Amino acid sequence: MAVFPKPSLKLRTDKKREIPEGLWQKCPDCGEVIHNLELVQNLKVCPKCDYHFTLSARERISSLVEESSFEEFDGDMSSVDILNFKGVASYSERLKSYQERTGMLDAVITGFGQIEQHRVAVAAMDFNFLAATMGSVVGEKITRLIERGTSDRRPVIIVAASGGARMYEGMFSLMQMAKTSGALARHSETKLAYISVLTHPTTAGVMASFASLGDLIIAEPKCMIGFAGPRVIRETTHQDLPPAFQTAEFLRDHGLIDKIVHRKALRSTLTTLLSYLSVNC
Amino acid sequence: MKVQPLEFEKPIADLEKQLEELKKHSKMQTIDLEREIRAIEDKIQETLCEIYSDLNAWQRVQIARHTSRPFALDYLTLAFSDFVELHGDRLFGDDQAMPGGFATLAGKRCVVIAHQKGRDTKENIRRNFGSANPEGYRKALRLMRLAEKFRLPVISLIDTPGAYPGVGAEERHIAESIAVNLREMTLLQTCIVAVVIGEGGSGGALGIGLADRVLMFENAYYSVISPEGCAAILWKHRSHAPEAAEALKLTATHLKELNLIDQVIPEPAGGAHRDHNKAAANLKEALVTALSELEDKPLQVLLEERYEKYRQMGQVLEAAESDSKVASER
């Protein structure tokens, strides 16, 4: 019998070389590993390949308007499980977990803010919250924003991103398409400007309502924009989809949007465009 | 017309088979089976009423999709007169999934826009299974503009599984064609009555469905997503469509309770597909009433009420209110 136990030569697996979590991000497009600080300073655009990472609604607002000038509306509004929706997970549970995860009450932030000399009504959708689907809260906040824009004679800018209508709210969510489009009809009737900014991804019910109704429609590079999902189209038509189908570039080449604008140029582009559209403000 | 029985209609189909045999027998053998025949006929009616008085959401979806159900052009023949079809969007093509034109309803001249499905494969290919392309929505808008110019009421008959998910539809911007209709219908200076006659498939339905009055047949459905689509996402499998149909509250009765539609149009016993004439008569009556209510409204009032109708749809909670109080905007 040995006096000493046989030495263990196994590697200690519990002490991997630690990369502090959340400090670095890998670009999903080119694979570049980017320090978070650098990414944030670059408005979350990959410095190597210009891939646009998703911005939260807060980040979007602060990238567009003077921070101190932003006056948020209806920040306390949250969703109700109107239909008492019970699927695999209930709607109320879903809402709660997304609220905890994102620190948002729902999927959009709205308010008035200053872009250079222009005071605008601005909304930003947050794709991290339930894929920024439009239920009563998103519809109501956007409608109220547009209505305030109409009564205060302000241009409206909506930065859209959405998976479509929020099915947990059934027909209530479909009707938000009518509600928001109706508010835009009245806004436009009084000759005020609306600029729609499409970001990755903007689809379905949101695309088939306010996101498509801009006097001007701008998109971020390479973002996915469409009505039906590519899988649904493939299954329905048994057709191969053309290359770069439903990208911002595809829409521009088909004459469906005005411009593709790099995120870092968005604010200055909006300023220029607004200067042409502010005569009635 | 021979009506294909749905699964839950099996007891009726069985009885009908019995009836047929009995009739055949009575003819061949010249025995008087009158009494038996009548008994079975009564039984059929009874069973029909029994089954149809207690339908669940998924059963109604199946009835709404029944290929023997009256389609828009059937109603245009049965409830209207003098239909003059007008073709094309003046931009790209003529969408056969969305016919439209002039028609007269009880002496009243109207513009009608509608989704149209086909009964057989050939017709369905022509009608694209009732799924309109951008051309359809743009033709509808062109006809609505015509109605506005000449002060004709607009009647919209909705029956679509959804707007067409195709490459061409995306290339010609189907999303925009629907969105523009929503914006323009809000301001359209003539009254609009929409009726969901069968399937009310999401944005494709709403694209001609923003109206002063929204009516719905008893066994029609109107939903933000198809039950199958919802089941595939939330239950991870399409086979859960019946549960999804229930959860989505997509039946006429539910939607009336939720104040999202204005009126439920009753169907004949055993569904509209069993009696086209009766269904058309009910539609006609409901439309005449709706139009007479809207006709005399000053335009300003009409448009204000239309805006408010949609403005109030939705329910949210605002923290300023006490927790128990829900900001019901209805």
pLDDT digits (tens, 9 = 90+) for A209-253: 999 999 999 999 999 999 999 999 998 889 899 999 999 999 999
At the top level of CATH, which class does the domain A54-277 belong to?
alpha beta
H/E stretch holding B214 reads strand B213-217
**CB interface of A with B, residues 73-132, below 8 Å:** 74, 76-80, 82-83, 85-89
Report CB contact under 8 Å: A213, B243. no
Query: Residue A270 has which token pair?
Result: 């909006």
Residues B210 and B262: their CA atoms lie apart, in Å, by: 12
Judge whether B215 and B250 are in contact, CB under 8 Å.
no
Residues B210 and A113: their CA atoms lie apart, in Å, by: 32
Adjacent-strand bridge partners of A5: none
Sequence letter at residue B244: A
H/E stretch holding B202 reads helix B202-206
Q: Which of A128-137, B84-93, B284-293, B313-322 has the lowest mean pLDDT?
A: B313-322
Q: Please tell me the predicted confidence (pLDDT) of residue A21.
A: 67
Q: How would you class B324 by CB atoms within 10 Å of its CB: exposed for 0-12, middle for 13-18, buried for 19 or more?
A: exposed
Query: Residue A61 has which token pair?
Result: 């607002």
The residue with tokens 């109704």 is: A213
Report the sign of the C-alpha dihedral through residues B242, B244, B247, B250, in that order.
negative
Q: Please tell me the predicted confidence (pLDDT) of residue B279.
A: 97
Given CB atoms, is A196 within the 8 Å cutoff of chain B?
no
Segments in B150-200 forming alpha helices (H):
167-171, 174-187
Average pLDDT over residues A272-278: 94
Residue B323 predicted with pLDDT over 50: no
Query: Residue B178 has which token pair?
Result: 């629907």
Q: Which of A186-190, B26-30, B37-41, B74-78 has the lowest mean pLDDT?
A: B26-30
Judge whether A220 and A251 are in contact, CB under 8 Å.
no
Query: Residue B14 has which token pair?
Result: 């069985």
What pTM did the predictor assign? Answer: 0.92
| β pairing state of A24-26 and A33-35 | antiparallel
Report CB contact under 8 Å: A213, B179. yes
Segments in A8-80 forming alpha helices (H):
36-41, 57-64
Report CB contact under 8 Å: B316, A213. no
Position with higher pLDDT, B225 vs B2 = B225
Going from N- to C-terminal start, the domains of chain B cover 8-54, 61-311
Query: Residue A9 has which token pair?
Result: 């030569």
Judge whether A197 and A157 are in contact, CB under 8 Å.
yes
Report CB contact under 8 Å: A83, B184. no
H/E stretch holding A272 reads helix A263-277
H/E stretch holding B305 reads helix B299-311
Q: How would you class A222 by CB atoms within 10 Å of its CB: exposed for 0-12, middle for 13-18, buried for 19 or more?
A: middle
Q: What percent of chain A has pLDDT over 90?
A: 84
Q: How many CB atoms lie within 10 A of CB B315?
A: 22
Give B253-264 pLDDT, tens digit per residue.
999 999 999 999
**H helices then E strands: how many in chain A?**
9, 11
Of residues B176, B225, B316, nearest to A140 (C-beta): B316
Residue A1 predicted with pLDDT over 70: no
Q: Please tell me the predicted confidence (pLDDT) of residue B99.
A: 98
Indicate the fold that domain B61-311 takes in CATH: 2-enoyl-CoA Hydratase; Chain A, domain 1 (3.90.226)
Q: How would you class A277 by CB atoms within 10 Å of its CB: exposed for 0-12, middle for 13-18, buried for 19 or more?
A: middle
> Length of chain B in residues, anyone?
330
Report CB contact under 8 Å: A173, B203. no
